[in-house]
Structure 1
């Protein structure tokens, strides 16, 4: 197989064109191939129609040297994909005995009769490498002919993903003579937008092929996935370390953690390191902050509790926010956030009190725009600070991002506190 790989993914299934399901298979395969340095140039989606599939394959043959198919191998689709490819390549379909045995065993196990249709699922293109299906019936297959590699994978992601990871990728790596080690690391950022982060490191993204730098956006934060390849693992790690250093020299101020961590987990980690506790007074967030913290197991040593004080009556009666503050400044104010944070800290005896008040809805409140948020932070032995945010988006999006900002500001306060 030549080194300049041009890969095309052809997803077969009318339900994809009707928008009934998302083409998540192509996304998954593209990510996996990209990490292995195999470039995907085209995504094609075609309905359950032999004529149109033939046409799509002919187009692909002219521009790609790896063609990966998903879907159209099952009993309902009449084995559309393999029959079409077999006829285009002038090859016969033969029964794969191992697949047939596992299909027969399945029907014996579930005590159901097996139809001819199910038998057809064991048919494979003559001369192909078989990719075992350990999570379903239809085996996958790979064929190398006339300078093009064809790979046929089943449509259901629950069958396709494990088959591709266990048999499909190793097939490509072997065919391409790749035996290098692949290391991946995700860097997480908060408080900087995706487009800003990309602008700041655009030349690094453009200039890198090993490691590759791929920005991924999600839910108010930005992540970068670094993937390095090298003969030795130690060298691959070094490549990633160097890239991370170059990136964080520019945007390190917004970096908060690696891989699957969350802002809530990082906050808990910093509290634990310092033997400190936190409690919260939540108006706008309605308990979402404490929900995020308690979703991580074993937080009772650092998180004391929360009061959800949605109304002014509760802010006044339970928390002890002064009536004067509420009358003069309103509930959506820095002054109210300040008192909420100080009061919850006093009431619970914790080292840090954090408060959230603001407007998530569509209508202005107290003459302030929707998306106006105040976060109060009362840290023992320090002056209480308040932060005003102006957030855009849906009601739920605003609440979620407010909680993330709260975690972010608390971590910042803790790390600055010890840096002095």
Structure 2
């Protein structure tokens, strides 16, 4: 079954509110095994709304509409669809009784327009509204199925998840639901990851494979339709193994989660702790790590040593290392190594990680914007320094180097734990 979602509301076109309904419905329909091929947004205009319905009917078996079911004159969805189908609007008596009882309980006068929320299209199945007053509509006409849901998410979600989903299941027959798995990768860009998997992507039938870029991370979604969980699991496992055989070194999770969560989990499971010394990132690494629940058992603490004076006072980095004629400078491999070693020693951690470099907007110490060094010091082991050249603006450089450092830390923890 192919679906199109039509979101109705001029406020959506003006950017006054975000169309979160389409995202929610797309996920819900995908879980039911219904493919969403198009999403349309149209304002509160009868002519343009009718045009959207005509276009949707040509390319979809299910037209799902949200918004425009309220009491005001610009709530036109039921009116326009009823006119297009050549059907009357009729009163749904249970909904009318609910509206009248509500106004009576408040001692408020009910104007005639409030009755519009109890109208439904002749021959349709009503969808009850637990969180509001407007009754939803579900019907089939000339081979096309239509579902009308309220615009407010607090009303739309329970209506779709409850009576809406029940009605859809009754219409679907034996359509197999969609099963998906998300693989998370780091230390590799989307283009390089895609190149490694290009034959799997180009030749995909079932399961399907798609990449999604995030800042410093890449997600691969594997999806299949299957009648049983066991059948789906077999398909997903086989494709996962095929992907791991090519880029398994970069795979840090088989579910959608950020890299910092995987690092904290690995530290906790191996009984190890990390501490950080940050310069250009200004505490961003510590912020990401401590955003993970349970991080207190894995993160010992951090130092934001943004100036040379702070590097000297809190980490004991010699000033002769940081400044003056012939000094390597704060932005150097040797300083990165010293920062990681000193913070590890002073917090008695298993790992110390440091970041220093030039985030911009201008060069520093005669070194270009984007040049960064990050180091990982390990208890009883050598300190490894990584050099990178990051692109982007200041915020992008800071986030990218933090993600790069987290990936190298994740590798170091795995190696140290013997995984």
TM over 0.5: yes
Deviations 1:334-392 (A, max 9, x none): 11111101111111111111111122221111122222221111101111111112222
Structure-2 residue corresponding to 1:290: 286
Deviations 1:14-43 (A, max 9, x none): 223333334333343334334444333333
Partner deviation per Cα, 1:153-196 (whole Å, 9 max, x = no partner): 22223322332233333433331213645433221111222233
Please state how far the C-alpha of 1:297 moved relative to its aligned partner.
2.8
Q: Does the aligned pair in 2 maintain the 1:79–1:121 contact within 8 Å? A: no
Q: 2:409 matched to 1:410?
A: yes
Q: What do the CA deviations read for 1:26-64 (whole angstroms, capped 9, x no partner)?
A: 343334334444333333332211122223323333343
Question: Which residue, 157, 162, 166 being the options, matches 1:166?
Answer: 162
Q: CA RMSD in A?
A: 2.3
SS of match in other structure, 1:121: helix
1:412 to partner: Cα distance: 0.3
Q: Quick check: 1:376 aligned with 2:378?
A: no
With 27-36 and 393-402 compared, the bigger mean Cα shift is at 27-36
2:403 aligns to what SS in structure 1? helix
Alignment of 1:155-194 (within 5 A): 155-178=151-174, 180=176, 182-194=178-190
Which of 17, 20, 24 aligns to 1:21? It is 17
TM-score by length of 1: 0.91
Per-residue CA deviations over 1:58-85 (Å, capped at 9, x if unaligned) read: 3333343322222211223543010011
- Specify every segment of 5 or more residues in structure 2 that has no aligned partner in the other structure, as ranges: none
Q: 1:17 to 1:30 in 2, by over 3 A?
A: same
> 1:295 Cα deviation (Å)?
2.0
1:281 deviation in Å?
0.9
| Stretch deviating more after TM superposition (352-361 or 309-318) | 352-361
- After TM superposition, the structure 1 stretch with the greater mean CA deviation from structure 2, 409-418 or 190-199, is 190-199
Q: Which residue of the partner structure matches residue 229 of structure 2? A: 233
Tell me how far apart the structure 1 counterparts of residues 109 and 368 of structure 2 sit (CA, whole Å).
65
Structure-to-structure mapping, 1:2-17, within 5 angstroms: 5-17=1-13
Shift of 1:112: 4.6
Question: How many pairs are equivalent?
Answer: 416
Residues 310 and 121 (structure 1), Cα distance of their counterparts in 2 relative to 1, 3 Å cut = same
Contact 1:70 1:152 in 2 (8 A): yes
Shift of residue 200, structure 1, vs aligned partner: 2.6
Aligned residue in 2 for 1:388: 387
SS in 1 for 2:179: strand
TM-score with structure 2 length normalisation? 0.91
> Mean Cα displacement is larger for which, 72-81 or 35-44?
35-44
